[in-house]
Structure 1
Amino acid sequence: MTHLQHAKTTRRLGWRGRLAALGVMLSCVVVTDGALAQRQPKPDWNLADIPSQKARIFLVTGGTSGMGFEDAKALAAAGASVIIASRNPQRGQEAIDRIKQAIPDAQVQFEPVDLADLASVRALGQRLNRTLPRLDGLINNAAIMAPPARGTSADGLEIQFATNYAGHFALTAELLPLLRKSDSPRVVTLSSIAAHIGSIDFGNLQATQVYEPMSAYAQSKLACLMFALELQRRSDAAAWGIQSVAAHPGVAVTELVERGPGLDSIQGRQWSAMRGRLQTAAQGAIPTLYAATAPQAQGGAYYGPIGENEIAGPLGLASIPAEAGDTVVAARLWSITEELTGTRFPAPGH
């Protein structure tokens, strides 16, 4: 199917239709051999199972609201020192105040970053490399979803590709020296069940020919999943010592729709009608927290809810789209992203 055909098909589907179609696709998804070897997590794993994170340092992007906020709060409650990285200092302070109200001795701070501006990403990396002794965990959480009109980042990239994927790619590279100073560093990258309806379209990677909001979002989240899996492969090959894990929240009630297509859109109205069947932000954060803290979590794994269509339900190994396991496509995407972002991960042996 060409990108144009895919875009036309996606436009004909409402939100419910997309989820129904996704359910069919999940039933016949191809799972990579590596995923088949992974151990299933305890299905009822919850916040009480988080081991002590005392003396560990985490950075959470997009930690001012939604699942990122829940991640930051839970990690702080477990004793970690948490850095919330986001665009808005006022919302950052509000998030810190809310966490400290619930956890008076929480160690939490705010750092400004705009993932859609690579200069801002590099500046954050430079600040943290100067001030932190190490970084034990990086949670690549921040995202935007399906804005009606195509937008561009400060560097000319399609805004969802830039914010959801390329900014996190560059941030991970910037923070790699700090991560390698940790005894057991983890990078957790958030994908989505939308990755199953995505495809990496190298001929229209920045949606300059055709822009369909949900297709662009799905592509960005597929790219995030491919990045997480490729990062583990490269860490193994180059002995970086990084444990790279992917997670998705199912479908959770957050600000994504409100800030994307809008609550008055068709998707917004359908979203509102389905709210009672969806995950809360706290529930949606469980796969990420497992990936970030559980001793049993494995590098190269993909965790999420495994109920009907993976929208909600108990924790388990999520279904991996066939394209996400294509190492040739993943390597090509990695190389192109290095060029687009001016970012270089160290070569093997360095």
Structure 2
Amino acid sequence: MLLGLLDYAQMARNFFPPAPALLPKDYPSLADKVVIVTGGNSGVGFEVVKLLGATGAKVYIFARSEASTLQAIEDAKKVDKDIDVHFVKVDLSDLTTIKPAAEEFLARESRLDLVIHNAGVMIPPKGSTSAQGYELQLGTNIIGPFALQKLLTPVMYETVEKFNTANESRIVWVSSSAHALSPKHGINLDNLNDLTADEWSNYGHSKAGMMIAAAQWAKHNPKEAAKIVTISVDPGNLKTNLQRHMSSFTEKILLYTLFPAINGAYSELFAALSPAVSTANNGEYIIPWGRFGRIRADVAESAGNETGEKFYKYLEDETAKYL
């Protein structure tokens, strides 16, 4: 790992973060605003959906399972009967589902204020692949979200122009402190789709890719990025169904150091709602439970240099035929 002392210190601090910087009592009203949360039917995403619903936002959960999502919506309504939540089916590990999902949303809405790319997979069995043959974490955690965002960007810009909501409109790319486990430069351009690498390395690879995409989105969409925030966030060390693939004794011990999912929602919603965040912070990184953090130095460099440009082109080329 290419970590310095400040990186190690930040990772250690994740086990003892300070109190949340922005709590639900501080959230602004989101009445009339429209939000998408991928993977909002469980874990951190479900907590995010409930908190956003309480602000008056109209929330769309983009998720793979209709049954579990409808159950999640029912559970959310038991807590707050007035919450306005809807379901759109998408499987981020299958690029053929991305365009139909975006089209369904756009047939129902002409406004979009906030996208939280929350869905993801962590350390599946080595060699697991997406429907298109990508390493599953690469396909689900970054290629799928990139494709979805490509289709949603136009309506986000139309919204920010029509309603004069610069800086309030945001794209939140959920990354991880595990980007520290990624290869040199964050991504391996010589072998982006490595099915033989260690599961943790590939997880870090996908999450570093998320950071790089967040920064490169601003470079490739300068008109939109002048008004729409694009930022990555580490939700924190959390106990969610992401850990379902953990198998080793050491990994199971780690489960006892994790925080409740609601804490991760505080991190994500700091990135999404805090007045301390603006387009001046495009490409930056939020850490638990709502602070600006440090991206590993070589990954931060990749986010703004030729490596990031090549990775962004790779994402565009790989998704073009499905969009």
**Category of TM-score, reference length = shorter chain:** 0.7 to 0.9
State the TM-score, normalized to the length of structure 2.
0.86
Q: Which runs of 5+ in 2 are unaligned?
A: 11-17
Q: Which string of whole-angstrom CA distances, capped at 9 and with x for unpartnered residues, describes residues 229-263 of structure 1?
A: 111233335667321121111211111111x33xx
Moved more, 198-207 or 176-185: 176-185
8 Å contact kept, 1:173–1:343: no
- Tell me how far 1:292 sits from its aligned partner: 1.1
Alpha-carbon spacing, 1:238–1:141, altered in 2? closer, same or farther (3 Å): closer
Residue of structure 2 aligned with 1:117, choices 59, 83, 94: 94
Q: Percent sequence identity over matched residues? A: 31
> Aligned to 1:165, which of 129, 133, 142?
142
Distance 1:42 1:181, change over 3 A: farther
TM-fit CA distance, 1:150: 1.2
Deviation at 1:27, TM superposition (A): 4.2
Question: Any residues of structure 2 matched to 1:62-77 within 5 Å, and which?
Answer: 62-77=39-54
Q: 1:330 to 1:343 in 2, by over 3 A?
A: farther
Give the alignment of 1:269-288 within 5 angstroms. 269-272=252-255, 275=256, 277-288=257-268
Q: CA deviation at 1:28?
A: 8.1
**2:68 corresponds to:** 91
Deviation digits for residues 110-144 of structure 1 (CA, Å, limit 9, x no counterpart):
11100011110111111122221111111000011
Question: Which stretches in structure 1 are left out of the alignment for 5+ residues?
Answer: 1-5, 7-20, 30-40, 306-313, 346-350
Match of 1:144 among 121, 129, 149: 121
Q: Residue 204 in 1 paired to residue 191 in 2?
A: yes
**2:208 aligns to what?**
222
Q: 1:204 to 1:267 in 2, by over 3 A?
A: farther
TM-align CA RMSD: 2.4
For 2:88 and 2:322, the matched residues in 1 are separated by: 23
Aligned residues: 300
1:320 pairs with 2:295: yes
User: 1:338–1:344: 8 Å Cα contact kept in structure 2?
Assistant: no
Deviation at 1:158, TM superposition (A): 1.0
Deviations 1:50-97 (A, max 9, x none): 111111100000011111001111000110000011100111011101
Alignment check: 8 A CA contact 2:170 2:229 kept: yes
* Secondary structure in 2 matching 1:125: helix
What is the match of residue 192 of structure 1? 176
Whichever residue aligns with residue 87 of structure 1, its letter is R
Higher alpha-carbon deviation: 93-102 or 224-233? 224-233
Q: CA deviation at 1:148?
A: 2.1
In the superposition, the TM-score normalised over structure 1's length comes to 0.80
Partner of residue 156 from structure 2, selected from 179, 189, 206: 179
Structure 2 residue aligned with 1:342: 320
Q: 1:342 to 1:268 in 2, by over 3 A?
A: same
Secondary structure of residue in 1 paired with 2:120: coil
Q: Is the 8 A contact 1:235 1:241 kept in 2?
A: no
